[in-house]
Amino acid sequence: MVCARCIKVVQEELEKLGFKPTSIILGEVSIESSITSSEMKNIKEMLWKNGFELIEDSEVRLIETVKTLVIDHIHHSRQKPESLNFSDYLSQKTNTSYFYISKLFSAKEGITLEKYIIKQKIERVKELLMYGSQTLSEIAFELEYSSTAHLSGQFKKETGLTPTKFKQLKPHTRRPLDNIT
């Protein structure tokens, strides 16, 4: 689940099945009562019908947690962790060494975690450019770039366009956050 609408859909669908989720956050659901194998089958079917899947493998679950943390941090969080770099942030949130996370991510996703973070940031930059309410300098600051030039360089490397050229294009090309790899 990568957005508030995803959370809403999962909550509503679980309630239709008779469950009362105690907590739903991006990528994770807690249900108070125990679940029978028959009920789990119904939950899996419901998730599948809505474009989601139940992740039971611990390594895949860790990767999905990392993706969710990256997306949440870049696209949804307005409060950035003070003086905490991304690797420390992910290690702290997952209680796992960054070396292990990074190695596992590359092996499972076929892309480095650093590249994945950059791609997510570029999608956020595209979104903010489309809104047009912030300067490139403000966007660079919000997304924790060291400078506007650094943001512009990464943007051009990823899209083939400068931020200014992208802003002038109609229609804008963006990708769903959960399809970025």
What is the pLDDT averaged over residues 27-31? 77
Is the bond into 171 cis (omega within 30 degrees of 0)? yes
State the alpha helices, DSSP H only, in the chain: 4-16, 37-49, 58-71, 86-94, 98-109, 113-131, 136-142, 148-159, 163-168
Structure pTM? 0.70
Q: What pLDDT is recorded for position 84?
A: 64
Tell me the C-alpha distance between 91 and 88, whole Å.
5
Domains of the chain listed by start with CATH number: 4-49 (no CATH), 57-181 (1.10.10.60)
pLDDT value for 18:
87
Q: Give the CA distances from residue 10 to residues 1, 24, 90, 150, in Å, rounded to whole numbers and listed in that order.
A: 9, 8, 25, 38
Residue 180 has a pLDDT of 67
Q: What is the pLDDT of residue 131?
A: 83
- 78 pLDDT band (50/70/90 cuts)? low
Span 89-145, pLDDT tens digits: 999 999 999 999 999 999 999 999 999 999 999 999 999 998 888 999 999 998 989
Question: Average pLDDT over the chain, rounded to whole?
Answer: 85
Distance of alpha carbon 40 from the chain centroid: 26
2 has pLDDT over 60: no
Percentage of residues of the chain with pLDDT beyond 70: 87
Model pLDDT, residue 132: 82
pLDDT, one tens digit per residue, over 149-173 is 999 999 999 999 999 898 888 766 6
